[in-house]
Amino acid sequence: MSSSYTNVGSLPLGVAILAILIGIFGAFFLIVGLLYFIGIILLDSAFVFGIGLVGGLLLLIIGIVLLVVASGLWNQELWALALSLIVLILLLVGDAISGRLVTIEALILVLLIIYLIAVRRHFD
């Protein structure tokens, strides 16, 4: 049985770690967003801790997006790799614009970009 799909290997350790960390952050944002909405309902107020309904909605959306990206990285989906690279590059550009290009954060971003490009052959 022949297939045009060739599995080039298992999930690289760095991608697994990155997917887990992104998933943890996603779960955190999702839980905080849900708790925020519960707080709004219980306190009968549109603002909790100075954040409005839009802020709570953004927390939920960010949490969901991070969980989806973490799942995509774990499953070695090409779209998740591309989205991760775009976000990392945007963060690096933001550091450059703010004048913080020579920081540990910028170094970590560059290393993550290089690493993800190096393991791109593992994604379909």
pLDDT tens across the length of the chain (124 residues): 444 444 455 899 999 999 999 999 999 999 988 888 777 777 766 555 566 677 778 889 999 999 999 999 999 999 999 999 999 999 899 888 888 878 898 899 999 999 999 999 999 7
DSSP code string of 78-107: HHHHHHHHHHHHHHHHHHHHTT--SSHHHH
Classify each residue of 99-123 as buried b or exposed e, where b means 16 or more C-beta atoms within 10 Å of its C-beta: eeeeeeebeebeebbeebeebeebb
Report the distance separating Cα 65 and Cα 60, nearest Å: 9
Q: Does 26 fall in a domain?
A: yes
Q: 122 and 12 in contact (C-beta within 8 Å)?
A: yes
Q: Which domain holds residue 113?
A: 76-124
pLDDT of residue 48: 55
Q: Does 65 fall in a domain?
A: yes
55/16 same-domain check: yes
